[in-house]
Amino acid sequence: QTSFPPFILSIIVGEILRLNEDPTVHGVALHLSENAYSNKILNAVKPEKDVDGVSDVNLGRLVRGDTYNCSISPTASAVMELLEKLVKTVDGKKVLLVGTCGPLEASLQCLLQRKGAMTMSCQWKTQQLQSKVNIFLSMPIWPAHAFCTTSCHTPRVHRAAQTNHPQITPTPLGEGKSTVTIGLVQALTAHLNVNSFACLRQPSQGPTFGVKGGAAGGGYAQVIPMEEFNLHLTGDIHAITAANNLLAAAVDARILHESTQSDKALYNRLVPVVNGVREFSSIQLARLKRLGINKTDPGTLTADEISKFVRLDIDPSTITWQRVLDTNDRFLRKITIGQANTEKGFFRQAQFDIAVASEIMAILALTTSLADMKERLGKMVVANDKNGQPVTAEDLGVTGALAVLMKDAIKPTLMQTLEGTPVFVHAGPFANIAHGNSSVLADKIALKLVGEGGFVVTEAGFGADIGMEKFFNIKCRTSGLVPSVVVLVATVRALKMHGGGPNVTAGAPLKKEYTEENLQLVADGCCNLQKQIQIAQLFGVPVVVALNVFKTDSHAEVDLVCEIAKQSGAFDAVPCNHWSAGGRGAVELAQAVRKAASQENSFKYLYNLELPIIEKIRIIAQKVYGAEDIELSPVAQSQISRYSKQGFGNLPICMAKTHLSLSHQPERKGVPTGFILPISDVRASIGAGFIYPLVGTMSTMPGLPTRPCFYDIDLDPDTEQVKGLF
Amino acid sequence: QTSFPPFILSIIVGEILRLNEDPTVHGVALHLSENAYSNKILNAVKPEKDVDGVSDVNLGRLVRGDTYNCSISPTASAVMELLEKLVKTVDGKKVLLVGTCGPLEASLQCLLQRKGAMTMSCQWKTQQLQSKVNIFLSMPIWPAHAFCTTSCHTPRVHRAAQTNHPQITPTPLGEGKSTVTIGLVQALTAHLNVNSFACLRQPSQGPTFGVKGGAAGGGYAQVIPMEEFNLHLTGDIHAITAANNLLAAAVDARILHESTQSDKALYNRLVPVVNGVREFSSIQLARLKRLGINKTDPGTLTADEISKFVRLDIDPSTITWQRVLDTNDRFLRKITIGQANTEKGFFRQAQFDIAVASEIMAILALTTSLADMKERLGKMVVANDKNGQPVTAEDLGVTGALAVLMKDAIKPTLMQTLEGTPVFVHAGPFANIAHGNSSVLADKIALKLVGEGGFVVTEAGFGADIGMEKFFNIKCRTSGLVPSVVVLVATVRALKMHGGGPNVTAGAPLKKEYTEENLQLVADGCCNLQKQIQIAQLFGVPVVVALNVFKTDSHAEVDLVCEIAKQSGAFDAVPCNHWSAGGRGAVELAQAVRKAASQENSFKYLYNLELPIIEKIRIIAQKVYGAEDIELSPVAQSQISRYSKQGFGNLPICMAKTHLSLSHQPERKGVPTGFILPISDVRASIGAGFIYPLVGTMSTMPGLPTRPCFYDIDLDPDTEQVKGLF
């Protein structure tokens, strides 16, 4: 049994006594691990300021949306001493063994949770974490690359378990993938002393200021500093916006310049005489090679070769490259551009997408190195030329500039959970028109960092039918990594909905079916859970069901779900209380995951890349969604034959389908059968490396509601504290 | 006479010997201060690799656009030792006295100049600088706020000299404001041991990838790391883009929501019942107050009050708030938005501006604190309502969110010159529709940092008629600071142009008038210089002319300019060679500036704010530009009376005029007279706090040329080195 060393105890008691007397503090909520309590602390809190009831420790009654109206704020020097204690000496060098914080340390870190102290204290902690984390990689981590001078050693074993984290078909409220991910690593590292890393996606600013709010987890399972996580962070999405829009501007400007200049004028401008010398740039030499012109002296090209070289001949009606903004701006969904006189009548219809829908985001999530990223950026197809051949970013001469704009974004950002365990935040591609998973690079770096016996928990967007299928068939093919466990997140609420419960709508109060015990609805809804388990099993990976428990769930309901899950083939199924209890509430889950990871693993892909595009689509539709067959529109058919002819037939498939049903119809809950999946169109992200069939229309630009989140967001100019960002 | 300590000497000689034998190195250029040379070094360089001729030290023949084909790369530990030497102990605490680097240290830092070593070494140095710089302010500096734990002491005296830096009417090639600014601080601090700070503007990414290229200075007068300076830096411009576009999206979404909902539906959505409770948010309570409704319970509003509260009634034809991107995208100059079916026919014509033209950028440059910034953001006018009353960001409920998005951007970014002297980079507003000066906050923080007897050199955009006039009449009014000296930058090239020389065009070779001695053209052109000096004298501040010497300028030409400048009322006029020689080439300028700063100062504004708008415009046109009078279009007249009625008549004036002539006609060089200045329109940036009359049309969105800069920009994926960014 550990307890606080005297100096920390006095700080805590001193703070409590101070808060007792502070009229602006309305209550003090303690959140310490049980064995860290002493009578001295228990007796210090004035009864009228005891928010939680001290006997109820570690199961605080925190409700989402509440502000933490309380707190104990340890001094910087106390935290510093704590961190010093975490540093071990290995081979004569100081090393922080990632995630070896014991319960005592975790408890003290919990003291930093109160909203007020969080930003400042945690920024400070992040910096400490960066400077001390055991970096044994040459791969730079942003912004840790500035701190990598401390100490390095070589890992003995690189293999480590990787778990993947989809959920059952969700309600529109979401079922808690992020919080389970965070709770699980808190349990593994802060409570079971197992090295672990969470790999999360960076959220888009659009929804943060629009409808959804922040995405840093919630309750006692959060990434901190939450404000930075939900704002610009290290600027990766802004870099994507800049790169995406430079390419878009280059496309239209090129069409205009080609339309208004002779071959000769274009050539003189593209290959100018500088200080008396005329030379091709290296990107132009590469283009000549692709055109089969093996010349390096600009003076020797024939008129025909010049024409081939200077004209991309883009067909404006085939442009698929759109501009992006990281703002929910519905008025940019369909626009006409180029209407100023200076553009000489070359207006055309276009659109803006939300920045995270950019193919560059998908590339960031799938790339394995700077060289690989640069190659993918160059291969992005922006349009066809008038002969039906693809025109790429490389043809426009912009590959290098795009790589320069993205050079820092490729480095994952290191953050931490509320209990001080490490988190990588990197990339956040759309989960319908892209693959919706966090980055390959973050997973790979994290796997090296956790070492043998460690765990990397990586999140997949949406349900097992979407995020997980794409994780296996697209992301695993790129990374070459084999996952050890699938953690499937379920809630009683969502299962009731699948069992026939009334509609669940964001903003409206929940019906009583969801707040009162109803075992029949739960039992009926478990068909969806069973199906999702079966989908995971198609890939040969053991499944652990994590039941994210809400305070309205009854014991009988929780037990029922776990029982059915195990009968349906799950390796294990356990309730989790990480929201209210932090890592301690997910210890049982962590133990189940460790056991599952030690099982035999027979991972396999669902389809061979060599199959025709149509066959690959059909396999996903039938085996994963349970469709009877697929039906292609004429447009979809012609696109498939075009891509096959252009040599893109061997890419994996990224289905753009609603996440609210296993079928294409959001209102069909449970396990729909007997449906024909309609494919309305087929598009391609050649740089990212997948074909994406559209099942219905997908909105790629959200809008602002009548009362956007920003009504509640504010900044205190004195304290710099951000309010209302959840 | 200083010389290298032995350990540094052996590193240098060792490096030279290694480079001698490296077949990939084509030459070695040494750049050391004279007294740092020893025979050991002189003899080490192989003759066939001696690029500069070692006798020609410190006047290297570096030409803009050349790559540094050479170098000496000191090890990190050598640089570390150097930095240790710079740290002084004050009151028992380690303190880096800003800018006390002596010639020896400056020389060693110069060793880092070669392109290859620069990025890495200098990033490292920047971090050191941040952690050691003598911070004695509570004002946080980004990203230094994470490092401020080292040591603090209180300054004895806050007053320090401030110099302001406009230029004569330039050629389209620019005459070197940035390099003179950097050369001057290098001279002051690295050579004269005077504390100094340069305050520069952050460049837009648009021109960097378009026509202009980078803006970090040039030759041996540069800000490093140059790559970061020219790329995302700490993300301030991206934050502006995000804030600007959130407001734009809110405007159009609000119009749509008001048009499609009843008062009751709007009210129910704007003030929803959450967990059984209905409450106004604080920004809504403020709106009620402005409307004269003194109620706080949402249940008590009358139907009429509800209607007033929920309807902003924006007149779409009056919207002045535009979307922005930091990309040169000419196709966004005039667009139609809202054409998707989901926007129900509410399409309208709009435009995108370059991000630095956003009013939020102007606010960032003028604000004095977080509270002030938040207030200015709320006051921004986006449109008029149907009664002709201004609608603000505050009315849309978005003030807090904008402040949150801008909370880090308000912190100036600390960088350094090639000679290791400190630089603040902060804000970069357009110099025509805005005031074109770097930030008030950077100036104020820098003034405190340099202490008594120190210098802050701050750059003003364009010529004395534009950047300087706005510096005095707009920026000085906000900051309350009084400048000590005006440094007016001139070149022989620009003066010849004003004397009747042929046209100067970017990209085309210079005519022989500019490359050969021509005293008559110079003498004739000095009328422009004289006029610019007179403009500065209107404000009662002494003027030092800095003649930025090019290698083609003859001694006689240089002498002639200096002589005429002094005859025309300049306190002094000196030639500068900072481009080729770094700070050493601007020592004479630095001495003149110090002398001028000790002069009596009788600073005064040009006009009283209380004068009518028209009078203020006339005073600028006549006294500064030399116009006979002004002529207002009917639109301009009605706008002026509207703004006066709305209570904005007492704001200062920010003229949007071409910088290529003192008049409104770019082709009229020298000192045009007898012209009537036409005011075509008058607009307002209420948050930034100025009225801006348009003299002709101003492009607020540049385009990409046929061969943009990005053709030459590339990233080496192995070394992460950026190529082609100047």
Secondary structure (H, E, C), B193-224: CCCEEEEECCCCHHHHHCCCCCCCEECCEEEE
Q: Which long-range contacts (CB under 8 A, 24 or more apart) does A441-446 make?
A: A441/A139, A441/A367, A441/A368, A441/A410, A441/A412, A442/A199, A442/A412, A443/A162, A443/A199, A443/A479, A443/A481, A444/A139, A444/A368, A444/A479, A444/A481, A445/A137, A445/A139, A445/A141, A445/A412, A446/A197, A446/A199, A446/A422
* Burial class of B218 by CB neighbour count within 10 A (0 to 12, 13 to 18, 19+): buried
CB atoms within 10 A of CB A43: 10
* Dihedral angle, C-alpha B389, B395, B400, B405, nearest 10 °: -60
Q: What is the DSSP letter of B192?
A: T
CB contact (8 A) between residue B706 and residue A257: yes
Task: Give the pLDDT confidence score for residue B299 in this predicted structure.
Answer: 94
CA B427 from chain centre, in angstroms, equals 6
Helices (H), strands (E): how many in chain B? 26, 26
pLDDT of A154 > 60? The answer is no
pLDDT of B137 > 50? The answer is no
Instruction: State pLDDT tens for residues B68-78.
Output: 222 233 333 44
Q: Are A479 and A506 contacting, i.e. CB atoms less than 8 angstroms apart?
A: no
Closest approach of A304 to chain B, Cα-based (Å):
20
CA distance B60 to B33: 11
CB contact (8 A) between residue B249 and residue A331: yes
- What is the helix (H) or strand (E) element at residue B249, kind and residue range? helix B236-260
pLDDT of B413 > 50? The answer is yes
CA distance A108 to A72: 10
Inter-chain CB pairs, A–B, below 8 Å? 258
Distant-in-sequence, close-in-space partners of A709: CB < 8 Å, separation ≥ 6: A208, A209, A210, A211, A212, A213, A724
Task: Give the pLDDT confidence score for residue A162 in this predicted structure.
Answer: 56
CA distance A279 to A307: 17
Task: Give the pLDDT confidence score for residue B71 in this predicted structure.
Answer: 29
Average pLDDT over residues B479-506: 86
- pLDDT confidence band for A291 (50 / 70 / 90): very high
Mean of all residue pLDDT scores within chain A: 78
Task: Give the pLDDT confidence score for residue B9 in this predicted structure.
Answer: 58
Tokens of A117: 């102290």
Q: Which of A550, A571, A648, A726 is catalytic?
A: A550
Residue of A nearest to B281 (CA): A712
CA distance A422 to A444: 14
Average pLDDT over residues B473-497: 90
Task: Give the pLDDT confidence score for residue B513 in this predicted structure.
Answer: 85
- pLDDT confidence band for B252 (50 / 70 / 90): very high
pLDDT of A96 > 80? The answer is no
Task: Give the pLDDT confidence score for residue B720 in this predicted structure.
Answer: 77
pLDDT of B659 > 70? The answer is yes
A401 close to B (CB below 8 A): yes
Task: Give the pLDDT confidence score for residue A575 in this predicted structure.
Answer: 95
Task: Give the pLDDT confidence score for residue A131 in this predicted structure.
Answer: 34
CA distance B403 to A209: 13
Average pLDDT over residues A384-401: 95
Pick from A644, A648, A630: nearest CA to A694: A630
Average pLDDT over residues A46-67: 35
The amino acid that residue A200 corresponds to is L
- What is the helix (H) or strand (E) element at residue A352, kind and residue range? strand A352-354
CB atoms within 10 A of CB A337: 26
**Of B95 and B176, more confident:** B176
Task: Give the pLDDT confidence score for residue B114 in this predicted structure.
Answer: 28
Instruction: State pLDDT tens for residues A217-232.
Output: 777 888 877 888 888 8
CA distance A468 to A344: 48
Alpha helices (H) along A133-188 = 177-185
Question: pTM for the complete prediction?
Answer: 0.81
Task: Give the pLDDT confidence score for residue B142 in this predicted structure.
Answer: 26
Half-sphere exposure (Cβ direction) of B168: Cα atoms closer than 13 Å: 31
Q: Are B672 and B174 contacting, i.e. CB atoms less than 8 angstroms apart?
A: no
**Of A41 and A237, more confident:** A237
CB contact (8 A) between residue B329 and residue A252: yes
CA distance B202 to B223: 11
| Portion 693-712 of B in contact with A at CB < 8 A | 703-708, 710-712
Average pLDDT over residues A283-297: 93
Residue written as token pair 């040591």: B151
> Among A239-253, B25-39, B405-419, which stretch is predicted with the lowest mean pLDDT?
B25-39
Roughly how many angstroms between the first and final C-alpha of chain B, as a whole number? 36
**Of B118 and A111, more confident:** A111
Task: Give the pLDDT confidence score for residue A724 in this predicted structure.
Answer: 81
pLDDT of A166 > 70? The answer is no
CB contact (8 A) between residue A711 and residue B397: yes
> Among A264-268, A387-391, B58-62, which stretch is predicted with the lowest mean pLDDT?
B58-62
- pLDDT confidence band for B615 (50 / 70 / 90): very high
CB contact (8 A) between residue B246 and residue A349: no
Half-sphere exposure (Cβ direction) of B240: Cα atoms closer than 13 Å: 31
pLDDT of A1 > 50? The answer is no
Q: What percent of chain B has pLDDT over 90?
A: 45
Cβ density class B656-669: b for 16+ within 10 Å, e for less: bbbbbbbbbeeebb
Task: Give the pLDDT confidence score for residue A446 in this predicted structure.
Answer: 84
Helices (H), strands (E): how many in chain A? 26, 26
Q: Which of B179, B327, B399, B458 is catalytic?
A: B179
Instruction: State pLDDT tens for residues A132-150.
Output: 332 222 222 222 221 111 1
**Of A629 and B155, more confident:** A629
Task: Give the pLDDT confidence score for residue A507 in this predicted structure.
Answer: 58
> Among A349-353, B88-92, B359-363, which stretch is predicted with the lowest mean pLDDT?
B88-92
ipTM of model over 0.85: no
Q: Which of B579, B675, B690, B726 is catalytic?
A: B579
Crossing angle of helices B519-538 and B555-567, in 10° steps, is 30
Q: A414, A715, A720, A722: best mutation site toward chain B, by most B Cβ within 10 Å?
A: A715
> Among A78-87, A414-423, A496-505, B138-147, which stretch is predicted with the lowest mean pLDDT?
B138-147
DSSP string, A88-124: EEETTEEEE-TT---HHHHHHHHGGGSHHHHHHHHHH
CB contact (8 A) between residue A717 and residue B374: yes
CA distance A251 to B710: 13
pLDDT of A676 > 90? The answer is yes
Instruction: State pLDDT tens for residues B681-697.
Output: 999 999 999 999 999 87
Cis peptide before B143 (omega within 30 of 0): yes
Task: Give the pLDDT confidence score for residue B134 in this predicted structure.
Answer: 27
Report for A103-107, A114-118, A243-247, A541-545: range of highest mean pLDDT: A243-247
Task: Give the pLDDT confidence score for residue A430 in this predicted structure.
Answer: 87
CA distances from B220 to A664, B67, B183, B271, B581 (A): 63, 13, 8, 60, 6
**Of A675 and B28, more confident:** A675
Main-chain phi, psi angles of A277, to 5 degrees: -115, 140
Closest approach of B663 to chain A, Cα-based (Å):
24
CB atoms within 10 A of CB B205: 25
pLDDT of B87 > 60? The answer is no
Task: Give the pLDDT confidence score for residue B96 in this predicted structure.
Answer: 30
CB contact (8 A) between residue A710 and residue B245: no
pLDDT of B455 > 60? The answer is yes
Half-sphere exposure (Cβ direction) of B542: Cα atoms closer than 13 Å: 19
Mean of all residue pLDDT scores within chain B: 78
CA distances from B149 to A84, A250, B100, B145, B421 (A): 17, 46, 21, 9, 21
CA distances from B508 to A240, A261, B504, B666 (A): 34, 19, 8, 18
pLDDT of B337 > 90? The answer is yes
Average pLDDT over residues B152-173: 43
- pLDDT confidence band for B80 (50 / 70 / 90): very low
**Helix, strand and coil in chain B, % to nearest 5:** 45, 15, 40
Closest approach of A455 to chain B, Cα-based (Å):
30
Q: Is B665 left (phi over 0), alpha (psi -120 to 50) or beta?
A: beta
Q: Are B223 and B726 contacting, i.e. CB atoms less than 8 angstroms apart?
A: no
A329 close to B (CB below 8 A): yes
Q: Are A126 and B145 contacting, i.e. CB atoms less than 8 angstroms apart?
A: no
Residue of B nearest to A255 (CA): B706
Task: Give the pLDDT confidence score for residue B643 in this predicted structure.
Answer: 95
Task: Give the pLDDT confidence score for residue A355 in this predicted structure.
Answer: 96
CA distance A446 to A269: 48
Q: What percent of chain A has pLDDT over 90?
A: 45
**C-alpha radius of gyration, chain A, whole number:** 27
Instruction: State pLDDT tens for residues A417-431.
Output: 888 788 889 999 988
DSSP string, A623-645: III--SEEEE-HHHHHHHHHHHH
CA distance A51 to A45: 10
* B334 belongs to the catalytic site: no
Task: Give the pLDDT confidence score for residue A519 in this predicted structure.
Answer: 94
- pLDDT confidence band for B58 (50 / 70 / 90): very low
CA distance B470 to B464: 9
